[in-house]
Structure formats: C-alpha cells, structure tokens
Structure 1
Amino acid sequence: MIGKIQESGMAKEGKEAPFPVSGYQEERPSSWKSVENMWISGYFAHGYADDMICVESIDTIHKMIHTGQHTVYGFMTGAPWRQWFALNLLEELDGPGEYVIDAGRGKMYVYPLAGKMENWSVSLLEGPLLAIEHCKDVKVQGITFEYGRHIGVYMENTHRALIKNCIIRNMGGVGVSIGKGTLKAGNQRGHESGGNPASRVVGDLMGTVYQNILFNREGGTENGVVDCHIYNVGAGGISLGGGDRASLTPAGNYVENCRIHDYNRIEKSYRPGIWMVWVTASLNVTSMMRPAWLSCFMEITM
C-alpha cells in the first residue's frame, strides 16, 4: 500500500512540481541495499491509471521512497487500489523466470526456469519490426513477428495494406498500430498537455485525443488485419486509426477474425485488445463508446 505522501508530484500555482515522494508501510524495503536500477509500478492515484517510474533513493529512516520521474496524476493515498510493487531489483531476484537489467553496465541477471532452456532472446530494437508507410497494395502474409521492444507492425498513410494470417507476439508495445501516435515534448505532462504527432509510436495518444478531437492519425484507407494471432504483447493488441473526423471522410480500415489475448504485460490501463481512434466507418450508429476496461474500446463517428 502507498503510505504517507510527502510530495504528490503535482504542480501547484503554475510551478514545476518536484518528483513524487511517498511512504511505505512494510519493513522489507528498509533492507534493500541498492536501488540503482529499481523501478516501481502500480496505481499511484486513480484505479484506471497504472504507471511505472524509476526510483532515485529510499530513505529508510523516514520510510520514504524518492522517485526519479513524474507520473500523470501524481501520488495519492487512502484507497485500496493505491498500491505499488518493486521491479528490476537485484535483491528480489528470487523466483524462476525473473530477471533484472543493469543497462549502465550492459548486463542482465536471470533466474532461469526449471529444466533446460533451449533459447534465450533479448531485443534491443526500439522501433517497429515492420513499418509500412506512404504506399499502397502491400500484402504481408504468414509471417511471425516477435521479440521487439515496441510495435510489431506499423502503418502510416497506406492504402489497401493487408496483414493476413500472421503471428505477432512477445512485443514490448502494441501488436499493430495503424496511424501516427504522439509524444510529449519538453516538460509536458499528463492528459492536460497531449502531445505532438510522431511516426512509429503510440506514445501519449490517449492524452492527445482528450485535447484535440480532430487529430488525424494519417492511418490511410482500406487497410486490414485479418486472421492474425496477437498475444503476449506489452500494450494492447491493435491500435486502429484512420479517417478524417473534421471532414467525416471514412477510412474503411478493419480488423477481421483475429485472436487477441494476453496483451497488457507492461501497460495495464487503456490498452484494450482493439482500440479504434476517431475511425469513421459505415455503421448504423451516430456514435458508440465502450469503456476502456472492455476488450474493445471504440469511438466511432459517421
């Protein structure tokens, strides 16, 4: 549980806020000798917004955790969902399948699973495994995409591109992204700031669509993901953009007969199996919105 809040991390009176500082209630963190590569994850404020941030230091005298990053809604206490857990901490490497990464020294410590390990795979690739951009009539069929730190397949300004009968798995981000995402610049933080358009990322797209309901992802037209199996990905199955909301120009992008499961290994909130963002489609409804905690989050406009 999150204990006493010494610093929430939220700006006051227009000033830049310090990084959050929160208390812990258990005795175990006081025994940790080094937090050089430690991170904490959890629901630090609201039960719909998980985050993961690095730790700067632990004050064992006052039982306080000093973080090294901001989080969207800051830190709060007093609710049962406001909990945290530690990760990438060498002293807690005590179970099969766990690992710790020391990026500064280029080392990885692994507690192997029982039995013989046939393969070890470690990816350094931060971009998409496949990017299809500014082209038309491309068909990708029967290929397995795996072991990337970010997006499996990315499409931007494509027309009649088809991803068919493919397996997309073991990714750090979303399986398929059709259309641009956004990235925050400088000291931008949270949904109130949105982000700037960026290719080959999803980034802070959720924050952007709060602020700019006409944001055009340049997702192209008549692009499809068909008969694909997407699983063990870090941040949702398919991020489906397309169409122009300002002119109500339809995209015709689609997903058909795909099996999508185990898709929020890293980012646990607002990353559904299929997320449709400002997609104009030929449906017999004016608008439809389903909660983000369902398997499909849709905002569709005729």
Structure 2
Amino acid sequence: MTQYPNYLRFIRIAFVYCLLSLITVAAYAQLEVFVAVNGDDQSTGSMDRPVASLERAIALLRERRTTDHEGMAIIQVREGTYAFVQGISLDSKDNNTLIQAYGKESVTFKGSVDLAPTALNKLRESGGISYYEINLLQHGVRDLGKLRNVGFSRASGNAAGELFVDETAFHLARWPNHGMVAMGKVIDAGSIPRNKDLSHRGGVFRYKDSRIDRWAQEDDPWVAGYFKWGYADDMVRVKSIDQEKRTITTLEPTLYGFDYKKKYRQWYGVNLLVELDTVGEFYVDRKLGTLSFAQNKPITKLSYSVLEEPFFSLIGTEFVKIKGIQFEESRGMGIYMRDTKQVLIEDCTFRNLGSLGIAVGFGIKPFEQMQHEGSGEPQDNSIGDLHQHIYSHPTFDHQGGESNVIRRCHFYRLGAGGVSLSGGNRLELSKGNNCIEHCVFSDLNRLEKSYRPAIALYGVGNVVKNCEIADLPSMAILIHGNAHTIEYNYIHHVAQEVDDQGAIYIGRDPSERNNLIQYNLLANIPKKLRTSGIYHDDASSGTTVVGNIFVNAGERSAFIGGGSDNRYVNNLFVAAGRWAVRVDNRLENWLKKLNVYGSGNLFYDRLVGVRYLMDPYRSAYPELALQFDRGGRPSGNVFQDNRFYNCKRTLKGKRKWLAWDQSNAAKYLPSLVQDYQRMNLKDLRKTLQSQATQQHIPIEHIGPQ
C-alpha cells in the first residue's frame, strides 16, 4: 500500500508550522525599539528612525504588545547622554522587557541640568584658585533644593542639590576643610530624644577659633559631626552664635544630646559662604538663586543635580532586565524595585548620586520628628525612616520580591550607601533568593555616614557574593533577618570614620539566625576606633562563620557581644589588632535589661513577634525556647580549627563563653610580617596562598570574577 497521502499531509503540516513560526519570529522582531539622542518621538522606533526618549519607547512597546506575546521585548539605547527630569515607572504591563545599551556603546542617564561654563562670572583669583559664580535660575533650575538634617536615626533621603565639575562632586563650603575639631565644653546638652525628651531644645557648646565669629553673619549655617557617640553622626542648624561667650547654640537637638571629652566627639561647620576658600567647595544662595564655587583648572563640564525620583521605579514587574547603563548626578537613588520577580540589573554603573544606588523593597515615610524607633507608613521610591521602623517592627514585610539579581555593577561616589536589599518573609521564614554578585562598591557615603552601609540586607535567604567593598566611613554589610549568605567577598578599608562598627555587622535581635558568612577576605580595617571585621553586636546569635580570612582587620577581627550559638570554624586570622577575637557576657551585666521575660522588654517582644514557640521558628531554632532560661550567659558558641598568625593576643574574654578547644592554633611566621596596607587582592592572594590552602579556603575565588 502506498504511503504518499500521509507523507503529503505531513509536508503540509510542517509547512504551516514553519509559516506560523516565521510569523511569530517576525512579530517578536517588531518588539524592538531604538532610542537615540538625535531621535524623534514621532518616529517609529526602528534602528533607522529611533525615538528620542525612554518614555516614548516604553509607550510604543505597550501599544505593540499582544496578549499572545510572551517573549522579551527590547529597548536598544544608542550611545549618548540622556537627561531625566522625572523618573520612569514600570509595572506588570512591562514584563519581559530588556532595556540595554546597544552593542558596546556608552550610554549615560543623568539627573542633572547642564550649566554653561561660558556663563560663569569670575569673582576673584587667589593663590592659584579661581572663584566663580553662576545663576542657577537662568539655567532653568527652579528647585534649588533644601538642606535637611542628616545622620543616625534621621530619615535617609535625597541630596539638596549638588554641583558637579568635570564629573566630580563638589561639597558644601565647610570648616575645617578636612577632618573635624574636638567638641568644646558643653553648656547645655539640649533635649535628648533617645530618652523620650521631645521638647526639641538645641544644645549649646563652646568653640575656640575666632574665625567662627564670622559665622554669625551667615544666612543658614549648620554644624555636623559626632556630638555624643562615635557611631551617631548628625547635622543640625545653628540657631545663634555668641561671639562674646564664644558659644554655638543649635536649632535642633541631636539624638543623644551633646557632650565632649571623648576623641570621637568632634564636629565641623558647613554651608558657610565665608568658608568658601578651597577647590571642591560650593555654596548656593537660595535667595538670589546663585551658586559660587572654587576651582584651580580649566572647566569643560558643569552641572547641577535636579532629579528627585529614581530613574526607574519597578513595581510588580517580572523578567525585566536593565543592562549596560550608567546612572549619575541625581538627587536621589538610581533604581527602586518592589514586589519584582527575576529582575536583572547587570553591567550598570551608579555614580555621583545623592542617595544610594538601588533599593529593593518598601521604605518608610519619614517621621515628623526625630526618634530612635517608631512606627511608620510604607512608602515607595525612598528609604526614609526604614531603619527606625525595623527596630520596632523587625518582621516588617518589605515586599522585596524574589529571585532578583544585581550583577557586575559598579557603585561609587554615592551619597548614602550602595544597595538596600530585601526579600523573603521573616514570619514564614520563606526565602527571597535575591542576589548581589560580582559587584564593586567604593567611596560611598558622601552625605550620610553611619548605618548607611554598602549593602543592607533584610528579610530571609538573600545572597551577597564575589563583591569588592572598600573605602567607606562605616560598615560594609548590615544584616537584618535570617538565612542570608555572604560569601567570597573582598572587604577592605572600611569603618574608617565611624566608631563601634564592624565591616560585617548584625545585632540586637535573637531571632535573626542561621546567617552564613563564609570564604570572605576582610583586610586593612583601621584600629584607631572600636572596629571589627565581623561584629555580632548586643547578643546577636546563631551565625556560622566558616573559612574566612581576617588580615589586619580592625581593633578586634571578630567580636561576639554577648551572643550564643555562633560557630567559628576553620578561619584564618593574620596580624590582628589588639585581639583576634573578643567575647563578652553583656546580657549578664550592663545589657541584661534587654533579656527579661515579659511584655515591654526588647528581646521578649522580638521573639514573641516571630512566634518563637510555634512553627516555623520552633522547628528551625529550637534553642530559642531556652533564651530566658540561660540567664544571659553566652552558650552554644563554638570555636574550632581556626589558625592565628602573628596575632599579639588571640582572645579577650573567657574561653568557656566560646567552647574554645585545642584544635585552634597560634603561630608566628616571619614570612607573614608584611605591610598589608599596601597590598591589593592579588598581593594578598600570593602572600596568604599557602596558609589558605592548608585551611582549605579557596582564596583564588574571592572577589569579583
């Protein structure tokens, strides 16, 4: 019997299938829009006829999508600089969208207004420095920005407006030009909000230098610094200056009040026209709309930041990718994301922004007045008082989404940290699986210093790996939550200004457990203040620390501040500061008030808040049932198979608090007497390769790959 009819039928089916496939491919090819600086928003968006704006490109994709199309739509951005006057919002209508720089072309999104160097009015020249003035209003800048209080327990927010000269951020005119001066005698500490004194009375303190007398004639002088504790920076307005008594009275209080006689209690004056005397400073006269600054070389590029919103705000989006873009010179953050799934931010640069680079998850609307902790309203597109809200509501659901990735991005010269990353649900212990990998963070915190880390982790089950973090005044990674993984990171030259810090920091919540810190290299953290490589503050417990290398890593490389159930196994300590490891029992003495059974006590409230005697916490962390039976004694800590080279003192504290056993070993090696401060990652790998191999630490895999 012949089979030709069936064969022909097969041919017809195959032909129809191929035709439909070609139609589908053609339809997909149409979902590509080109954007160019010389484009026209009335164009079709083809490569030959590009549109001019991202807004128009997104609108075209929305118009052209069909319910049957589930493939990736692409916005190809051609080379050039694109000025943003408002941010772009993406939602579920924009799922499956790739926004990328075309090919290897250089694409910059900026949030600033260009100022014409030819419009500069040269006021004077002195000592090789030229002093200029320019009218911002004449360049279309209507909102000059408003200075705000900035510091510990203050809302994190946008910059007031900054000057950029040849891509370098200038700072407000200040004295002294570098560093700070010691606090003078405090006449009145002012009201102390931390002690519930909300009378809003400023402080009064004395000064010595007669040049400060001139500040009495300034329109809007401020003082900033560390007025009580070295971990709590602040910036407050000056109410008055008494030239006869040589006292400064501030308009606002600071969280802990004003004090003196400690080396970290120091301050500087800022926003002072009379102190505009060196390169890199600027001053804005908000009455006249003029900007003054100092420069000592020719100026080719001049701009002033104006954009308040994130460049992109992604809410409820899935499978969106942003690749190869440089974000710069805005007052706020680069990208905001909430309730997103499988979003990828890749090969992007975030620089010269007034806030941080990326925020994943809700922020909190700023409180009406300063407070250490409190309840706030969730808010998109900002951080605000998130840190203060989390203190009171540690199970807050940020809605950070899941399986989002930030990869091979560079964050530098930012105003207030790098990335705020949430994901997962603390009540359910469900993981977010959000990840930051192969990124570089450097030279952050231009405006906001303490507790504005390169990376802030929240929620459950998120990952930071193969990153380099350096040149920060405060901490590199701040941990809140459970089951996070921090691995293969190179962290160095951090905690350079703020006191009582850890390069990696977690603290004050016994329910935050099962975090893993492994195979990181922490190096060259200053010893002048109370600094640590890893800091388990205020009874932080249940963290596993495995296979890390600590080199010249702070006053103490590792500090367990009263916590339990922490495991240190197979770590390498080299050239430690005063101590390699410090441990204390603070819950048995000065901090025992936190660990009292009963409503109204911090640890009890936090454990009840996660329902610690019920699943999933009961099954995941059965040891929590013993929290109040231990009497505050550190227990369950394990310290095994660690190696110490050229450390003057291996341990401060009692060994029984650590279960310190004989597998830990200390040794002096002349070959490890090195100037580690001058070493980069390559040098450290070469110097420590032998010791790392003996400890089975894959040092060659540490850092961005």
TM-score with structure 2 setting the length: 0.40
CA distance in 1, matches of 2:285, 2:404: 40
Query: Aligned residue for 1:120?
Result: 302
Which residue does the alignment assign to 1:286? none
305, 308, 319: which one aligns with 1:137: 319
Q: Is the 8 A contact 2:191 2:197 kept in 1?
A: no
| Distance change in 2, residues 1:278/1:72 (3 Å) | farther
The answer as to 2:333 corresponding to 1:147 is: no
Q: Closer, same or farther in 2 for the Cα pair 1:159/1:103, shift >3 Å?
A: farther
Q: How well do the aligned residues superpose, as a CA RMSD in angstroms?
A: 2.1
Structure 1 183/108 Cα, relative in aligned 2: closer, same or farther at 3 Å?
A: same
Map of 2:241 onto structure 1: 58
5 Å-filtered alignment, 1:161-200, equals 161-187=343-369, 189-193=370-374, 195-200=376-381
Q: Which residue does 2:425 correspond to in 1? A: 244
In structure 2, distance between residues paired with 1:71 and 1:84: 13
Gaps in structure 2 of 5+ consecutive residues: 1-181, 465-472, 484-705
| 1:159 aligned to which of 311, 336, 341 | 341
Q: 1:299 aligns with which of 464, 469, 480?
A: 480
- Structure 1, unaligned stretches of length 5 or more? 284-291
Aligned counterpart in structure 2 of residue 28 of structure 1, from 205, 211, 215: 211
Distance in 1 (alpha carbons) for counterparts of 2:242 and 2:377: 37
For residues 61 and 74 of structure 1, the distance between their equivalents in structure 2, rounded to whole angstroms, comes to 24
C-alpha distance in 2 between matches for 1:9 and 1:121: 40
Report the CA distance shift for 1:141/1:156 in structure 2 as closer, same or farther (over 3 A).
same
Q: Is the 2:222–2:237 contact (alpha carbons within 8 Å) kept by the matching residues of 1?
A: yes
Choose the corresponding residue for 1:268, options 449, 461, 475: 449
> Any residues of structure 2 matched to 1:28-47 within 5 Å, and which?
28-47=211-230
Q: CA deviation at 1:63?
A: 1.8
Structure 2 distance, partners of 1:182, 1:158, is 18
Of 202, 209, 222, the match for 1:19: 202
On the 8 A contact 1:242/1:277 being kept in 2, the answer is yes
What do the CA deviations read for 1:86-110 (whole angstroms, capped 9, x no partner)?
Answer: 1110000000111112233322111
SS of residue in 1 equivalent to 2:391: helix
Amino acid in structure 1 at the alignment position of 2:401 = G
1 CA distance for matches of 2:253 and 2:460? 32
Q: 2:337 touches 2:361 (CA, 8 Å); kept in 1?
A: yes
Q: Letter of the aligned partner of 1:25 in structure 2? A: K
> CA offset at residue 297 of structure 1?
1.9
CA contact (8 A) 1:35 1:57 kept: no
SS at match of 1:208: helix
Deviation at 1:145, TM superposition (A): 0.3
Shift of 1:226: 0.5
Higher-Rg member (1/2):
2
6-15 or 265-274, which deviates more: 6-15
- Once residues 14 and 73 of structure 1 are traced to their aligned partners in structure 2, the CA distance between those partners, rounded to angstroms, is 10
Tell me the secondary structure at the aligned position of residue 111 of structure 1: strand
Relative contact order, higher structure (CA 8 A, sep 6+): 1
Alignment of 1:79-94 (within 5 A): 79-94=262-277
Match of residue 221 from structure 1: 402
Corresponding residue for 1:97?
280
Per the alignment, in what secondary structure is the counterpart of residue 430 of structure 2? coil
Cα-to-partner distance string for 1:81-134 (whole Å, 9 max, x where unaligned): 11110111000000011111223332211112x221111110122221221112
What is the aligned counterpart of 1:212 among 371, 393, 402?
393
Q: Percent identity?
A: 35
Across the two proteins, how many residue pairs are aligned to each other? 292
**Gap change, CA 1:5 and 1:173, over 3 Å in 2:** farther
Give the deviation of 1:298 after TM superposition: 2.1
| Deviations, residues 13-71 of structure 1 (Å, cap 9, x unaligned) | 75523123322233221133422122211011110111122222212122222223333
Query: Is contact 1:181-1:203 (8 Å) kept?
Result: yes
Q: Is the 8 A contact 1:161 1:224 kept in 2?
A: yes
Provide the rounded CA distance (Å) in 1 between the counterparts of 2:389 and 2:187: 29
Question: Residue 143 of structure 1: CA displacement?
Answer: 0.5
Q: 1:130 to 1:74 in 2, by over 3 A?
A: farther
Conserved 8 A contact 1:59-1:65: yes
Distance in 1 between residues matched to 2:419 and 2:463, nearest whole Å: 20
The 1:215–1:149 alpha-carbon spacing in structure 2 relative to 1, beyond 3 Å, is same
Structure 1 contact 35–56 (Cα < 8 Å) conserved: no
Secondary structure of the residue aligned to 1:31 is helix
Distance 2:441 2:240 in 1: 39
The question of 1:255 aligning with 2:436 is answered yes
| TM-superposition CA deviations, 1:237-292 (whole Å, max 9, x none) | 11111111111121111101001100111111111211112333489xxxxxxxx9
Counterpart residue type for residue 108 of structure 1: L
- Residue number in structure 1 paired with 2:495: none
Residue pair 1:6, 1:22 contacting (<8 A) in 2 also: yes
Q: Which amino acid aligns with 1:107?
A: T
SS in 2 for 1:210: helix
Contact 1:35 1:55 in 2 (8 A): no
The 3 A distance-change label for structure 1 pair 274 and 169 is same
Greater shift in the superposed pair: 205-214 or 61-70: 61-70
SS in structure 2 opposite 1:109?
strand
Q: In structure 2, what is the Cα distance between the partners aligned to 1:83 and 1:74?
A: 13
- Partners in 1 of 2:406 and 2:340 — Cα distance? 13
Cα distance in 1 for partners of 2:211, 2:364 equals 39
Q: Which moved more, 1:208-217 or 1:10-19?
A: 10-19
- Which stretches of structure 1, 4 residues or longer, exceed 4 Å deviation after superposition? 11-15
Residues 229 and 300 of structure 1, relative CA distance in 2, 3 Å threshold: same
Question: Residue 289 of structure 1 aligns with which residue?
Answer: none
State the distance in 2 between where 1:294 and 1:243 align.
Answer: 23
**2:619 paired residue number:** none
